[in-house]
């Protein structure tokens, strides 16, 4: 299995620009999570989906952030307009739900390091 795939690996952009981060979960996993990691706040959940439906978006910092999951194999996290304080590493994780093999384990992608200048 290829694991959770995130792209791009690094993104450098200027303040005010739109940024789109992409995630392909592990095939067969029906839950997908977006996390943000910063030195100040650590790892925090932004939003998660079950069966492509957003379940909890309480961690999304503000309206500039939006996330979609149009199908079971793809999700995007968009920031528009971006600001320097959005600079962080963004992780996507997926998890199988239900059944003895699920075990509530989340598998993480390699992350996208975003720098907003």
Partner 1 sequence: AQTVTQSQPEMSVQEAETVTLSCTYDTSENNYYLFWYKQPPSRQMILVIRQEAYKQQNATENRFSVNFQKAAKSFSLKISDSQLGDTAMYFCALGGGGGAQKLVFGQGTRLTINP
What is the four-CA torsion angle of 105, 57, 1, 90, rounded to 10 degrees? Answer: -100
* Contact window for partner 1 (CB under 8 A) among 10-18, 25-33, 61-69, 71-79: 25-33
Tokens of 22: 């992409």
Residue 72 touching partner 1 (CB under 8 A): no
- How many separate helices (H) and strands (E) can be counted in the chain? 0, 11
Block residue for tokens 């989906």: 49
Contact 113, 9 (CB under 8 A): yes
Q: Is 75 in the site for partner 1 (CB under 8 A)?
A: no
Q: Which of 69, 91, 114, 116 binds partner 1 (CB under 8 A)?
A: 91
Q: Binding to partner 1 by residue 56, rule CB under 8 A?
A: yes
31 binds partner 1 (CB under 8 A): yes
How many residues contact partner 1, by CB under 8 A?
A: 27
d(CA 86, CA 50): 25
Please report, as ranges, the residues that interact with partner 1 according to CB under 8 A. 30-31, 33, 42-45, 48, 50, 55-56, 59, 89, 91, 93, 95, 97-98, 103-108, 110-111, 113
């Amino acid at each position: 299995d290829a694991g959770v795939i995130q792209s791009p690996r690094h993104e450098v952009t200027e303040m005010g620009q739109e940024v789109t981060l992409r995630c392909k979960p592990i095939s067969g996993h029906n839950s997908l999570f977006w996390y943000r990691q910063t030195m100040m706040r650590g790892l925090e959940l932004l939003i998660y989906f079950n069966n492509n439906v957003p379940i909890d978006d309480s961690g999304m910092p503000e309206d500039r952030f939006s996330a979609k999951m149009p199908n079971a194999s793809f999700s995007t996290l968009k920031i528009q307009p971006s600001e320097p304080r959005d600079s962080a590493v963004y992780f996507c994780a997926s998890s199988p739900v239900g059944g003895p093999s699920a075990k509530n384990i989340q598998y993480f992608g390699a992350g996208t390091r975003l720098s907003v200048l």
